Amino acid sequence: MASFADQTFQLGDFELASGPVLPQAQLGYRTLGNLRSDRSNLVLVPTPYGAWAQDQTWLMGTIFDPARWCLVVAGQFGNGRSSSPSNSQAGLPYGGWPSGHVDNVRAQRRLLEEVFAVESPALIYGWSMGAQQAYHWGVLEPERSQRLCCICGTARTTAHNRLFLLSLRSALTTDPTWNGERFVAPPERGLRSFALIYASWAASQAFYRQGGHRRLGYATVDDYVERSWLPAYRRHDPHDLLAMLDVWLACDVAKAAGLASGDAQADLAGALGRVRARTTVVACGQDLYFPPEDCAAEAALIPAARFETLESPLGHRAGNPRDSLPEQARLRQIVEQLCQD
């Protein structure tokens, strides 16, 4: 089974973990590569923030050998291709989209079972918000998760990461087109502030100091933001951008697992201690969102997890290096080691 076109999996009326029913829910996905007859080579790739399935196509042939693997790139709820505020009858309730990573995992499990007849993917590979979903798979579906590769992401949103996300939310919702519940017109001022914040965090200080934007073909930093970052977010309905932010803000595998002892660290340890998958956690030494210290602390809570560090001026984007061969080679090596028979 192979396809390079975006496809849609119809979930029907889908009850969310928070209680509401999402009418006629759907997952957007893309299949890359051929699924073996024994269905042993399927890799689930949950999408990161703001990504569509097509944005992860570069993984095949760079990180993954197309002769060996079948990748299923599954769009998370809220990304505009899967059920989202922009395309759902549920709309956007005040305070945020009512979905979370528990719902993403449940929907992805149905996709794999009902479309591909796969109950246990060979690997769940995720970067950033994709890593959050991979962690949730490991905790919520320990018997179905064989291997996890969690790149530049954490299983629980940290206090510092939360401040970054709140700054993005504020950038959008202080736009004059926001009426307290919805945008009444495109929030151009808010989107420009949003892109500026993202550009300043997603790459490291060294990236700009070394002229990384110029190597990508942009004469100035302002040009880089205007022609690269701003279009990346303009393509989305702003309500969808808020929806994904709210899921990121709420990310916590301990709460997802129903652990609420009052000791947050003990609950996190209890949740990650449930993971049975062979796990590799990858951090970037200059990631401003998910610094190595945060990633290493969580990796230490996962039984027998391996911790790896990428040293790259790309910062957070080192985990999604579409244009950088050294980081691609390192990630390919990490995946090959994780998937050795």
Q: Which residues are part of the catalytic machinery?
A: 128, 287, 316
How far, in Å, CA of 321 to CA of 262, rounded? 39
Residue 217 and residue 35 in contact, taking contact as beta carbons nearer than 8 Å: no
How far, in Å, CA of 83 to CA of 60, rounded? 25
Residue 159 and residue 136 in contact, taking contact as beta carbons nearer than 8 Å: no
Rg of the chain over all Cα atoms, to the nearest angstrom: 19
Residue 266 CA, distance from chain mean position: 25
Which SS3 state, helix, strand or coil, does residue 97 take?
Answer: coil
How far, in Å, CA of 333 to CA of 341, rounded? 14
Amino acid at the residue 66: P
What is the DSSP code (8-state) at residue 332? H
How far, in Å, CA of 17 to CA of 9, rounded? 19
DSSP notation for 18-84 = TS-EEEEEEEEEEEES---TT---EEEEE--TT--GGGGGGGBTTTB-TTT-EEEEEPPTTSSSSS-
Residue 165 and residue 198 in contact, taking contact as beta carbons nearer than 8 Å: no
Residue 52 CA, distance from chain mean position: 10
Bridge partners, residue 50, by sequence: none
Bridge partners, residue 279, by sequence: 148
Tell me the CB-side half-sphere exposure of residue 147, using CA atoms within 13 A.
20
Residue 258 to residues 133, 255, 267, 302, Cα–Cα distance (Å): 16, 5, 9, 18
Which SS3 state, helix, strand or coil, does residue 283 take?
Answer: strand
